[in-house]
Chain A
Amino acid sequence: MNVLHVTLVYVVWFLVTFFFLVSALTFLKHRQQFYVIPPSTEGTPFVSIVVPAFNEEAGIADTIESLLEIDYPKNKLEIIVVNDGSKDRTSEIAGKYAAEDKIVLINNEKNMGKAASLNIGFEKARGKYVACIDADTVTQKDVIKKTINYFKDEDVAAVIVRITVRNPKNWLEKIIAVEYNLGLGFYPKIFSSIDCMYLTPGQFSIYRRDKVLAIGGFQVGNIVEDLEIAYRFQKAHYKIACCVMTGASTKVPNNLRDLYHQRKRWYSGTIQTLLQHRDVFFNRNLGNFGLFFIPFNYGTTALGLLLFFSTTYLFFSNAHMVYSDLSLINFDIFPSIKNFITHMALDPLSIGMLSLLAVTPFVMNLMACYVGMKMMGEKIRKNLFGFVAFLFFFLPYHVFWIIALYFVVLKKKVRWRASM
C-alpha cells in the first residue's frame, strides 16, 4: 500500500504541476486579451433567449424581469419560456408576461427534460443567435451586446460568460462563490484561448443557432447537456469563446444535501459523457483539447481519486494504530500531550520529500486562486472565509466524485434535483 501511495503521490504531483504550469503559461501569454471584447461588426442581429423552466415559481419572475431589462433593441430580441410540465405556479407566472406579449410561452404537456425543452425553444426561436438561461438566473444588462461580437468569427458556435453566485450569504454559498469565480470565469477564459472549452454553462450561454442545429441540438436525456454539447462542438471543430466582461448570477445550493444532489448529477453526467465521447481522449484531430485538456484534466481527477483512497486508507490505518497504542495505556493521553508540548520543537529537518511534494500543489492552487480572484475583480478580504475554505473543499468534492462513480458503475438513476 505504501509503495502504491508513494507512486501515486509522484504521478499526481507531475500531472497537477504540469497542468498548472500549462494554465499559468497560457494565462501569461493571453493576459492582454483577458478583458478585450471584439469590436462591433455584427450590428444588431435578432437574438432569441430560451428559458427552460420546471417548477421554477420561486425564480422565474426575476429571470424574466432581468431579461426584459437587457440593453438591446426590443424588436431584435425575443424571450421564449418553455414550461416543462411544471406542477407549481411557473406557467401561471410566465403566463402573465406572455399575456402582455413580453414573452413567448410554450407549455410542454408533460415533463420532457431540460435538453428536450431547449430543443423545442431552438425550433421556435427566430434569432440567428439563441441564448439559453436557467430560470433561477439573472443576467447583466449588457450580456447580449458584449457577447454578440464574438460571433464575427464564423467558427464560434457559442459564447459563454462569467457566472457568479447570486447574493451569497451562508458559508456554503460563499465557498461556491469562489469556486464559480474561478471555475466559471477565470479558468474558462484561459482555456478558451487554447480552444479547450469543455462546457457551455447551462446557467447562461449564447449559441449560433445553425451550428447547434447542425450537430443535432442538445442531447435529450443527458443530465449534463451543457457539457455534452461542448464535446460535440469540439469534435465539429467549432469554437467556444468566453467573455468575462459580462455575466449572469445564479442561485446555488445553500445546504450540503442540495450540493450533494447537484454534484452527483454533474459528476455522474460528466463520467457518462466521457464514456460516450471516449474517442476525444488522445484524439490528435482535436489538438489541445484531445491531446492535453481531456487526458490531463480527467487523468488527474481519476488518479487523484485513487490517491484520495490510498490517503484515506493510510489515515484510518494510522488512526487504528494510534487507537491500539492508546488502548495499551488505558487512553491516558495527558502525559503524552504534556510531554509533547514540553518538548515541542519546530524542526524544519522533519520535512520529508512527500511533504515537500504535497505542499507545492497547494501553494500553486493558492497562487492561482489569488490571481484568479484578482483578475475577476473580486476583493478577497470581502470573502476571506470562502477563499480559504475553497482551498480545502477538494476533499468533499472527491467524495462526490466517488459517489458519482458508484452511481454510474451500478447504473443507478440520477435525479435532476433533490426535490423531484
Chain B
Amino acid sequence: MAGFDVRLYATAALMTLLIFASIYSLNMFFESQREQYVTEQMNEIVDDFEEIETAYYFMDLVAQQNNSCDILKSELDYLESRLWVLDGRIKSYRDITKDFANDEFYIREKKKLNRREVIHLAMLSKLKKTCNYNHTIVLYFYGQCEQNRRCDEQGYVLTYINQNIDPEISILSFDADRNISAVDSLIKLYNVTEYPCVVVEGHTHCGLHTSDEMMALMCQYSPSLSICK
C-alpha cells in the first residue's frame, strides 16, 4: 500500500472542526446580540408607550390646552416610525436565522410588537376624534405567511406606499397567527375572512392589492390625501 499520512488528515480534520466551532460560536454570539438588540429596542418602545399612555389617559383633562394634540401627534408619529423600523429589523433577523420563525424569542417579541400596534391604533383613533386630526389609518392583517407569499407581497406594496406618503397615513400591521386576543377582536370586528387583508378607514378589503389598487382605495375613503389631488 502506498503512503497514507494518518497524522496529516487527523490534524486537518481537527482543525476543520475547530474552525467550524469558532464560526458556530461567532454565530451564536451574533444571534444573542441580535436578540439583545431587539429586546433593548422593544424595552425602549414600551417605555415610550407607557409615557404616551399616561398622556393619553390625561388627554381629556388636558384637552383644553391648545398644544396637547400637537404634542401627542408628534409623539405618535415618532413611535410609529420606531415601530416600523423595529418591525423591519425583526423581519430581517427572521430571514437571517431561519429558525427564528419558530423561535420562542421571535414569537414573544412579535406578540409585544402587535400589542403595541393595537395600543397605537387606539391612541391614534382617539387622537383623530379628540383633536380632529386628519389622518388615514390602514390596518394590514396577515397570516400563514410561510405558505402564503401574498402576505409578503402585500407587505412590500404597503411599505412602498408608506415610503411615498408617510406623514399622511399610518399603516399598522397585525399578525393573525400570534393568538393575541386584541388582534383576534380586530379580525372579528372588521370581518377579516382571508389573508392578506387591508382595512382602510374602517372598510375591509381582503385579497392582494397592487399599489394602484391601494391608492384607489385610500383616495376613495380619504380624498384629501395629497396623492389623490
Contacts and interface: CB of A to CB of B under 8 A. Distances in A.
Contacts of B97: 352-353
A17 B153 contact: no
Interface range for B: 35 or more
A288 B16 contact: no
Interface in A52-104: none
Interface string B1-39: 111110011011101100110011011001001100100
A22 B2 contact: no
17 contacts: A6-B98, A14-B16, A22-B9, A25-B11, A284-B4, A286-B2, A290-B2, A291-B4, A324-B153, A329-B211, A330-B211, A332-B160, A335-B163, A338-B163, A352-B96, A353-B97, A360-B19
Q: Is the interface of A mostly helix, strand, loop or mixed?
A: helix
B108 interface: no
B9 A349 contact: no
B226 interface: no
A330 B212 contact: yes
Given A18-B12, A321-B149, A328-B211, A350 B96 contact: yes
Contact of B2 (A289, A329, A356): A289
A321 B34 CA distance: 26
Nearest to B89: A347
Select the residue from A6, A290, A291 with max chain B CB neighbours within 10 A.
A291
Interface in A313-350: 321, 324-325, 328-330, 332, 335-336, 338-339, 343, 348-350
Given A284-B1, A288-B4, A325 B164 contact: no
Interface of A: 2, 6, 13-14, 17-18, 21-22, 25-26, 29, 194-195, 237, 284-292, 321, 324-325, 328-330, 332, 335-336, 338-339, 343, 348-353, 356-357, 360
A329 B15 contact: no
- Secondary structure of the B side of the interface? helix
Nearest to A324: B153
A23 to B, nearest CB: 9
B5 A353 contact: no
A287 B33 contact: no
Contact of B153 (A21, A291, A325): A325
A106 B23 CA distance: 61
Contacts of B33: 349
A353 B211 contact: no
A349 B20 CA distance: 19
